[in-house]
Amino acid sequence: MIKHHPSDETLLRYASGTLEAGPRVVVAIHVGDCTACAARVADFEALGGAFLDDLPAEKLGDGAFDALMSRIDADAASRAIPAQPRRLSRAEVGIRLPEALDDCEVGPWRWIGPGVRRSRVTLADDPKANVMLLKVAAGRRLPEHTHSGFEYTQVLKGSFRDARGHYEPGDMDEADSEVDHQPVVDETGECICIAAVEGGIRLRGFFGRMFQPLFSA
């Protein structure tokens, strides 16, 4: 049972194509597993289509279609065949990665703190997007932190909790700069999440400041 979902604002931005690339891939994973959010996105898409139908038609200039097709052909001819992105195997990750990551490069695990490892996810359409896989050992507390922007976290395996609730596979946590929390992984097993961060993560406390460069790298 999925209990934590993206906000309606986020789902509307996802449906309209205005959500940034990093959050978009995390929300896509959630929507792929959540029938309630998939229905909500379909409603927003239908609403957007109705608005478009109500707009007055605009007459295209002479030769507009031919010009469009020429641009498409030129763009296709200029593209090199992309190399197969590097992806961690199921054995390396610990789970089968969602299909939404098929075109992404998934880097090696890096140690960023006791019991915590991170794998950078590079998106084909926005290589600078801050997206990562996090693998945290059972019972481990992450550093207390807040954010300079939004953080979107989808649970893929295991579970964690903080002062706001308990998050299990399929749940998505959407946190902004008003949220100051310290996720704690359940004792039942490791937790694997995918997260997209807009802005940065600000760690609290002495140990948080000590590990800040590792989380920011």
Amino acid at 95: I
The predicted-structure confidence for 148-170, as pLDDT tens digits, reads as follows 678 899 999 999 998 889 999 99
pLDDT of residue 61: 74
Please give the Cα distance from 181 to 16 (Å, whole number): 30
**How many CB atoms sit inside 10 A of residue 178's CB?**
7
**How many CB atoms sit inside 10 A of residue 167's CB?**
24
Please give the DSSP secondary-structure letter assigned to residue 138.
T
The predicted-structure confidence for 73-131, as pLDDT tens digits, reads as follows 776 665 555 566 677 778 888 889 999 999 899 999 999 888 999 999 999 889 999 99
Please give the Cα distance from 120 to 187 (Å, whole number): 25
Q: What is the pTM of this model?
A: 0.77
In order of their start, the domains of the chain are 1-217 (2.60.120.10)
Q: How far is CA 7 from the centre of its chain?
A: 14
In 3D, which of 178, 121, 117 has the Cα closest to residue 147?
178
Locus of tokens 């007055």: 56
